[in-house]
Amino acid sequence: MAFLKDVESEELRELVKSCFKEINSLKEQLSEENKDIKTNEVVKNVLIQNENQNTNLTARINELTEEVNQKETALKEKELLLQEKDTKIKEKDLEISELTTKLNAPQATDDDSTEILKKQITELESTIESQKKEIDLLSTTSEESSSQNEKELKLEISRLKERNEELKSTSSNTEINQLRSVIDRQTEELKEIPVLKNQLTIEVTGRDQKIKKYEEEIDSLKNQLESSTKSESEIIESKELEISELNDKVSQLEKTIDELKSSDDESLSEDYSKQIEELNEKISSLESENKNLKESSGAQIVPASDNMNSLIEEFTQKSNELIEVQSELQRVQDLNKINEFKLVELENENAKLKSSIDEIPDNTTSSDDSELTEEIDSLKEKLSQKDAEISDKDTQISDLKARLESTLDSDDEQLNKVKQDLINKTQEYDALELDLLEKDATIESFKQQYEKKNEEFKLLESKFEELEQSNKTAVEELSSLKEKTNEKDIEINTLTLDEESNVDKIKELEKILAQKDEEIASLKVKLDEVAIDLTAEENSDELQNELKEAKKALYEKDAEYDKLKLDFNQLRKSTSKQITELNEGITKFSNSNEKLRTENEYLEKTLNDKNILINKLQQDKDAFDLIIKEKDTNYDKLKEESFNVKKINETQISKLKQEVQDKSDKISALPQKLELKDIEISQLNKLLKTREEESASKTDTIKELRNTIQVSQEEIKQLKDQLARESLLVDDKLKSKDDEIFKLNESFSKDAEEKDQEISKLTSLLNQRKYKIDELNATIDSLNKDIGILNNQIKEDTTKNIQSESIIKAKDDTIVKQDELLNELNNQINRFENKIKLKDDDIDELNLQISQKDSVIENLKSEVSDSNMKLEQMNDLNNQISQKDSQIEQITSQLEDKDKALKESNDNLLTSSARIQELKEIVDRKNKDIDDHKQLLFDKNEELDKLKNLQPRIRSLELEKADLKSDYEKQIASLKADLQKAEVLKENNEKLDQEISRLNEVVDDKDVQLNDMSKFKDYFSAMISKPLPGLTSFQSQIYHLLPDAKSASELYDYLMELGFTELEKESFAKTLKALEKREYCQRARDGDRIIWVKKPVPSDD
């Protein structure tokens, strides 16, 4: 600023000062732009750090998801174990129910006892249901309730035992034989149960070992598959071949199953075990193949993520290129500013020239000539004109500056718009990435659901196989039941034949009785017609005695005949009832057989339908495989298109880079041109200095040659010439300045055009990005469509599974109905057997009632304790006996009267001796008939004695039953203990799960504590660390504690939260300024707010 002292005009001084102010302002702008560049670099670093943190977070999220999946798999395994235990419990319940049904086979003799036993059966069924409910609710009930139920069961069993002992006395040989056969079957079945259990345990352990082996093989196959990359088409073809082979094997298995139905049980068990092993191997191979397909599908999905990564890399490259373009624009702006500085310097030089020109007349004031003054005034006028021209040029330069600023502002606005568009596009891109991630997550979830559905389908297949086996067993049971029904039909036919023979015998007896009734009636008429003379007493004493005896015998025979007739009528009624009941039972049995036939036909139809459905499902599966192939081909096409787009983009980027390099080369050539112009200006300045020196010498000569006018005139002329030359030089300079201004305008217009071209290129890039985003949206839509297709597939699978479940449920219902029908048939058969037994017992009782009164009375007394009906019958019989006794008394009184008459009529008896002989013959016949009946009764008594001899055998059988029952009770108790153990295990598992969750919470708390402690450690190290060079300890502590890229208010709040409660804002602001002076911190712009960015600590070097 020392040269301003030589300048006298204030306007020039003010101009120079304003120029210096503009220079300083431009320097400040340059410094701020440098700071912005540095802040941009810091922001780049922050963005890179954020990307690294995002990658770390994604890795952590993946680890957490894997842990969650592992825990879910563990929970599923536990649920499967619980389901297996529930199935075992249900199997034990079924065994218990079968055993209880076998034990609850009633042994009844009378109609009254059948009703009582029915009530007992209903009670037992209710108790069985209550026991099932208790077994289901064992997790909540206590041991006391179970003990009480056991006591009640024991009491009921003891009651049944007592009633069975009471009913044993009336059992027949057929019942005993049937009981023996049933008990022998039960014992054989019970002996087979532990063998079957052992076989099942061996099979289960073998399956577990095979599953482990298969899991190891699966792991090895996974490792092999990671190394080997086979084409998907070959895999799918192999799968189709395997599916066809499996279908062939299924058809073979069905054939073998049909063949096995006719084979024995032993061959069935061996073949079943082999087939089960083969099926397990096939299931394991299918599982491994499914896993391979899942891995291959995962490998297919991975390229999409690679494409996304490549797109992200391209986007980052493009953003870096944009940042480079922005930096080049900033360089151009800096060069423009440098040019402006140079223009200002030129203006200063012009001012200096003006001052030199002003000094010239100051030095020539001493001249005396007026011409010199006039010439000097004219020169001044010319100079003022030149100043006006220079001021015009300055105004033009200011206008150009304003235009430059306006164009720069418009360019900045366009750049900001472009940046905002880029930010929006990046946000859209991030949103699309998030959508893609969500879609990937949904695809993975759908895959998991598909895997679950496959597992459910496998379970349903296993259930279907079990149902087929159960159907086979049901068919076998039906065949056995058919055989039993045929046997029962034969027995019923024999019984009907026996009944027919009995009916024929009864008809013969009726005929005989009718004849006897006629004979007795004729004899009574004859006795009444006999006229007994009272006078012949002395001669006919013997005859009278014989007559009395004959009459007594006749009355006795009449009484016996009446009793036999009553018994016969009762027999006929009971037999007729039995015959009607048997006919009803036969009709019911035939109806049930017809129902069973219809149900068998229905089951065969349903099996055929199921086979058709299985074939349809296989066809659907093949169609889905074809659809998957088409999707894979489309995916490959999309891959190729994306790679082509990548290549096109790369070529476009390379072209843009070349253009940018050309522009940068041109821009780099501009400063060289400006340097040349600066050299020319410096040369002109040197010429001006020489001219100034010459003008100074000229002024000296003018002082020396004041006296001579000519010399002064010559000098004036010289000065005029010099002024003309200088004016020419000034004109030349002005022309050169105009040329420079024109060149600058041209360069500015070129720069503007280049910027417009760059903006157009950027817009084209944005359009390309938009096109790429649209393509990505299209790919996302295609993925959504694929997901929709997968959803539809899953829905179809679910519907198919629901259909299969409904089919299985229908089969279960049909099987349950068959079981119920079988149970009803068994119950009906048992009822018919009991009724037949009861009818046999009734027939035996009626035959026994035909015997003597004493035996009848004793039998009735023994039967009084059994039933109230027998007491009523005894009362009726006693009434009949009392009536007969009264009749006998009347007859005896009549006989006494007759004896008196016979004593009086001995004479008349002589004439009636022939008739008496005839009566004796009739009495003999009656005696023979009575003897025949007595022999029949004796035979029946012998049979009863034999039955009584069988009672110890029945008692031994009852003891065996009691032992079996005790064994069953022990098995039930062991099952209950197993259930309690299972509950304990369940509780332990729940406790372990709770402990695991608690430990996870503790681990999370520890992680939080560790994070806090690491923060405190950082704070402590910051507080302890040595002060940085040029800073106080407090300032260095604040530098270490402050976070990066935050505003001043946020930093102050952060320090207040840390514990600097007494820190004032003014002192904090001073510390920030001190850190900025020492270049430890730097201001930066983040939108509308100012951020403080930390610089790295300078090294000691």
| Mean per-residue pLDDT pooled into runs of 10, the chain (1101 residues) | 51 71 75 70 67 69 71 72 71 67 52 63 65 61 56 65 60 57 63 65 69 69 62 62 67 62 52 58 61 52 46 60 62 64 64 54 48 64 67 67 67 69 70 70 71 73 70 69 70 65 67 68 60 48 69 68 70 71 72 72 74 75 74 74 74 73 68 67 71 69 63 65 70 69 70 71 69 69 71 70 67 66 65 62 64 61 59 63 65 65 60 61 68 67 64 68 71 73 77 80 83 81 84 87 86 87 88 88 86 75 41
**Closest to 210 measured CA to CA, from 289, 276, 269:** 276
Instruction: Sketch the domain layout of the chain as residue ranges.
Output: 1-78, 214-319, 504-580+823-947, 1026-1094
Taking phi over 0 as left and psi of -120 to 50 as alpha, with beta for the rest, 1087 belongs to left
**Strand-pair category, 1081-1086 with 1089-1094:** antiparallel
Distance CA 557, CA 923 (A): 9
Q: Give residue 363's pLDDT.
A: 46
**Closest to 320 measured CA to CA, from 645, 653, 662:** 653
Q: Give residue 615's pLDDT.
A: 75
Distance CA 88, CA 772 (A): 60
Taking each helix axis from N to C end, the angle separating 1048-1058 and 1065-1077, rounded to the nearest 10 degrees, works out to: 120
What's the token pair of residue 49?
A: 């750090």
Q: Give residue 305's pLDDT.
A: 43
CA angle at residue 587 from 585 to 593, to 5 degrees?
Answer: 100
Q: Helix, strand or coil for residue 1092?
A: strand
Judge contact between 351 and 686, C-beta under 8 A: no
Polymer length in residues for the chain: 1101
Judge contact between 1083 and 1091, C-beta under 8 A: yes
Q: What is the CATH number of domain 1026-1094?
A: 1.10.10
Distance CA 1034, CA 1019 (A): 13
φ and ψ of 333, to 5 deg: -60, -40
**Closest to 972 measured CA to CA, from 183, 191, 147, 85:** 147
pLDDT digits (tens, 9 = 90+) for 683-736: 766 776 776 677 677 667 666 766 666 665 566 677 667 666 766 776 676 677
Distance CA 75, CA 992 (A): 12
Judge contact between 330 and 37, C-beta under 8 A: yes
Q: Give residue 734's pLDDT.
A: 67
Q: Which CA distances in Å does 357 have to 290, 351, 371, 919?
A: 100, 10, 18, 200
Distance CA 841, CA 845 (A): 6
pTM for the whole thing? 0.23
Burial class (CB in 10 A: 0-12, 13-18, 19+), 538: exposed
| Residue 156: CB atoms within 10 Å | 14
Judge contact between 359 and 694, C-beta under 8 A: no
Judge contact between 942 and 573, C-beta under 8 A: no
Q: Give residue 958's pLDDT.
A: 67
Name the CA radius of gyration of the chain, rounded. Answer: 63
Give Cα 912 distance to the centre of its chain.
Answer: 113
Give Cα 337 distance to the centre of its chain.
Answer: 69
Judge contact between 1083 and 1092, C-beta under 8 A: yes
Q: Give residue 863's pLDDT.
A: 63
| Amino acid (1-letter code) at residue 97 | S
| Amino acid (1-letter code) at residue 118 | K
| Amino acid (1-letter code) at residue 721 | D
What's the token pair of residue 886?
A: 């009264």
Judge contact between 908 and 533, C-beta under 8 A: yes
| Residue 495: CB atoms within 10 Å | 16
Judge contact between 667 and 331, C-beta under 8 A: yes
Q: Give residue 469's pLDDT.
A: 74
CA angle at residue 318 from 315 to 323, to 5 degrees?
Answer: 125
What's the token pair of residue 907?
A: 């004479």
Judge contact between 640 and 307, C-beta under 8 A: no
Burial class (CB in 10 A: 0-12, 13-18, 19+), 749: exposed
